[in-house]
Amino acid sequence: MTIALLEQVDLQPLNTLALPARARYFTRIETVEQLVEALAWAERKQLPRLILGGGSNIVLRGDFPGLVLQIALMGRQSNGEQVTVGAGENWHELVQWTLAQGLYGLENLTLIPGTAGAAPIQNIGAYGVELAERLVSVRGWSLMDGAERELSAADCGFGYRDSIFKRKLRDRFVITSITLQLGRQFQPVLHYPALRDALVANSVPDALAVEAAVRGIRQSRLPDPVALPNAGSFFKNPVVSRNQFERLQARYPDLPQFPAPDGIKLPAAWLVDRSGWKGRRLGPVGVHAQQAIVLIHYLDGAVAGQGDGEALLQLAAAIQADVRQRFDVALELEPTVHGAA
């Protein structure tokens, strides 16, 4: 065996919500051969598998009864304007590296936590740019047919914070590397008001200025998971039909709206805030005081150490129920939920 198997591994330091959970078995994957061997071992033992990147978009509901595979497949190569990176590479460091190479296109996606291999799972996006616009293909191991496969961006079924890896291929495809198409000509994407405002003094911003502006806004607005454990946005922004939007707008004239390919996108933060949840705390879990879609697992105060995935999911369910009752809008969870109850 070339894989090192550990037992009863503490996952709390490996998820940004700092939820307490243990893995029955755990292994770190540094080569595709180790991946294949670890998957085969779990198959023989009939154990469930959890593919783990940086743990910044998962909710661990409880202990994981199978094998956790921590993806540490490294490597970055550029070939003209294309770059191919191992799934275990840190996303933010990749953004910095591309800029240092004079390759542009990822500036708006700076400072997103996690790994390159997880980026396609929810088609990461920020400030008007989505991974789907830059992705050429992913390579990975298909558990459906036990073989290495390459999927084109079109095969990935990308949608808003969504992909085939969250649906048909959930837990059935392990991404080992991704290939991106970047450019040597910088083409700024500046239609988000916060970004435009941050660059107002800069009439022709270059890529480094845009990256610095996004980084600055994010640092000023978003809670640092080290201080306040969180998984970023806990709810996706819902997309509703124009009819439903018009009905809602008649009752709530200040309801913000953004056009989306298949309807009207509503900011989940506005819906949660108007349902009275912003800043509310239920013991060890709560809603951030400034960011209404960021749920926090508090590690301080009298209830420190009492929070878990169940408490967090109960809070999320209460928010979803209130938003549905008030606005007749279904809020979907953004992170994926893993582990036994």
Interatomic CA distance for residues 109 and 95, integer angstroms: 8
258 binds, among ligand FAD, ligand NAP, none (CB under 5 to 8 A by kind): ligand NAP
The residue from 233, 245, 266, 323 that contacts ligand NAP (CB under 6 A) is 233
DSSP E strands, the chain: 6-10, 22-29, 49-52, 58-60, 64-71, 76-79, 82-86, 125-126, 129-130, 135-142, 147-152, 173-181, 230-233, 239-240, 258-260, 263-265, 281-282, 285-287, 294-297, 336-338
Residue 233: active-site member: yes
By CB under 6 A, residue 59 contacts ligand NAP: no
The residue from 85, 112, 195, 272 that contacts ligand FAD (CB under 6 A) is 112
* Catalytic annotation, pick one of 161, 163, 177, 211: 161
By CB under 6 A, residue 192 contacts ligand NAP: yes
Binding segment for ligand FAD (CB under 6 A), chosen from 108-116, 150-158, 241-249, 281-289, is 108-116
Interatomic CA distance for residues 263 and 155, integer angstroms: 23
By CB under 6 A, residue 123 contacts ligand NAP: no
* Catalytic annotation, pick one of 89, 107, 130, 334: 334
By CB under 6 A, residue 67 contacts ligand FAD: no
Q: Is 102 helix (H, G, I), strand (E, B) or coil?
A: coil
Contacts of 233 (CB under 8 A, 6+ apart): 268, 293, 294, 334
Interatomic CA distance for residues 282 and 29, integer angstroms: 38
Q: Is 264 helix (H, G, I), strand (E, B) or coil?
A: strand
To ligand NAP, the closest distance from the beta carbon of 222 in angstroms equals 5
Binders of ligand FAD among 34-53, rule CB under 6 A?
50-53
To ligand FAD, the closest distance from the beta carbon of 249 in angstroms equals 27
Contacts with ligand FAD, 116-155, as mask; x by CB under 6 A:
-xxx-xx-xxx-----------------------------
Q: Select 16 or 34, whichever has its Cβ closest to ligand FAD.
A: 16
Interatomic CA distance for residues 100 and 37, integer angstroms: 36
Catalytic residues: 161, 233, 334
- Binding site residues, ligand FAD, CB under 6 A: 16, 50-58, 71, 87, 112-115, 117-119, 121-122, 124-126, 165, 174-175, 222, 225, 230-232, 336
